[in-house]
């Protein structure tokens, strides 16, 4: 999952980035409103975490421009402004959630997970597809009663395509979700290697990752294939 953090407080931004990266998220960090606008033009995000007190503009203007462009990415506002009227104003502008600083990192992580699930119409933190269970809160996956031994990238890829089960996910979407611009990777092979390892670990479970030629991948079951 790829997130955008818009925050000019360097110590806070560093703490947020570290915490979320440990959970397997890819984070882009914008330090101003104009930088955030540029990131939002060239990248797709699962959640935007938006501070209001930016050096060049109010974060509300970033939100306003985002929604005016037709972009429906979930936005979590981070602000020291506690007034109810201010929270109402931002929610009415199109924010999906609002957290008052100082921020508890565990709560922030839980809110990010909730926004990602809700944006895909998923209420339960556990995603179940046949024998596969993915605990998005506990950051682990199971096949029946057997825990899956997954790397951080494998778990992130599995969660990404499981949330979009039975829909096509392109290699480019997976590449953006799994790797930051600073990662030294071969973009042609990186995603294929992760998918190949996942297929081996899912073998015999009835859960399969299909290649849709020329388009990408789709997660489903053997029953889907015969239906």
What pLDDT sits at residue 24? 86
DSSP state of 165: T
The verdict on 138 and 108 lying in the same domain is: no
If one counts the domains in the chain, the total is: 2
The verdict on 101 and 139 lying in the same domain is: no
Instruction: Tell me the Cα Rg of the chain.
Output: 18
The verdict on 66 and 137 lying in the same domain is: no
The verdict on 143 and 74 lying in the same domain is: no
Domain that holds residue 96: 2-119
What pLDDT sits at residue 179? 86
Phi and psi torsions of 199, nearest 5°: -60, -40
The verdict on 132 and 115 lying in the same domain is: no
The verdict on 106 and 190 lying in the same domain is: no
3-state secondary structure of 124: coil
* CATH (domain of 175): 1.10.10.10
The verdict on 91 and 178 lying in the same domain is: no
The verdict on 107 and 185 lying in the same domain is: no
Indicate the residue among 104, 119, 134 that finishes a domain: 119
The verdict on 152 and 202 lying in the same domain is: yes
* CATH (domain of 68): 3.40.50.2300
Nearest residue to 88 (alpha-carbon basis) of 77, 74, 104, 103: 77
What pLDDT sits at residue 227? 43
Token digits of residue 98: 């609002």
The verdict on 46 and 108 lying in the same domain is: yes
Number of Cβ within 10 Å of residue 79's Cβ equals 21
- Whether 157 and 198 have beta carbons less than 8 Å apart is answered as yes
The verdict on 44 and 113 lying in the same domain is: yes
Which is it for the CA torsion 165, 19, 59, 78, positive or negative? positive
Indicate the residue among 98, 119, 140 that finishes a domain: 119
What pLDDT sits at residue 161? 94
- From first to last of its 227 residues, the chain has per-residue pLDDT tens of 899 999 999 999 999 999 999 888 999 999 999 999 999 998 999 999 999 999 999 999 999 999 999 999 999 999 999 899 999 999 999 999 999 999 899 999 999 999 999 998 888 899 999 999 999 989 999 998 999 999 999 999 999 999 998 899 999 899 988 888 766 566 658 899 999 999 999 998 889 999 998 889 999 987 765 44
Indicate the residue among 103, 119, 135 that finishes a domain: 119
The verdict on 89 and 182 lying in the same domain is: no
What pLDDT sits at residue 214? 86
What pLDDT sits at residue 112? 96
What pLDDT sits at residue 189? 83
What pLDDT sits at residue 96? 97
């Amino acid at each position: 999952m790829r997130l955008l953090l818009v925050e000019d407080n360097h110590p806070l931004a560093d703490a947020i980035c570290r915490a979320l990266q440990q959970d397997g998220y890819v984070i882009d960090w914008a330090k101003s409103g104009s930088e955030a606008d540029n990131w939002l033009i060239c990248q797709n995000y699962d959640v935007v975490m938006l501070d209001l007190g930016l050096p060049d503009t109010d974060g509300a203007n970033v939100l306003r421009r985002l929604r005016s462009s037709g972009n429906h990415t979930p936005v979590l506002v981070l602000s020291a402004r506690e007034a109810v009227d201010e929270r109402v104003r931002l929610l009415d502008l199109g924010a999906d959630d609002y957290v008052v600083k100082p921020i508890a990192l565990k709560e922030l992580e839980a809110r990010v997970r909730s926004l990602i699930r809700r944006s895909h119409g998923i209420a339960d933190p556990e995603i179940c597809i046949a024998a596969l269970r993915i605990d998005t809160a506990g950051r682990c996956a199971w096949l029946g009663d057997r825990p899956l031994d997954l790397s951080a990238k494998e778990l992130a890829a599995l969660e990404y395509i499981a949330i979009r089960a039975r829909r096509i996910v392109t290699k480019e979407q997976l590449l953006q979700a799994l790797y930051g611009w600073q990662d030294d990777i071969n973009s042609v092979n990186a995603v294929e290697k992760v998918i190949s390892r996942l297929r081996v670990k899912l073998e015999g479970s009835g859960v399969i990752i299909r290649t849709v030629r020329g388009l990408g991948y789709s997660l489903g079951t053997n029953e889907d294939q015969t239906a």
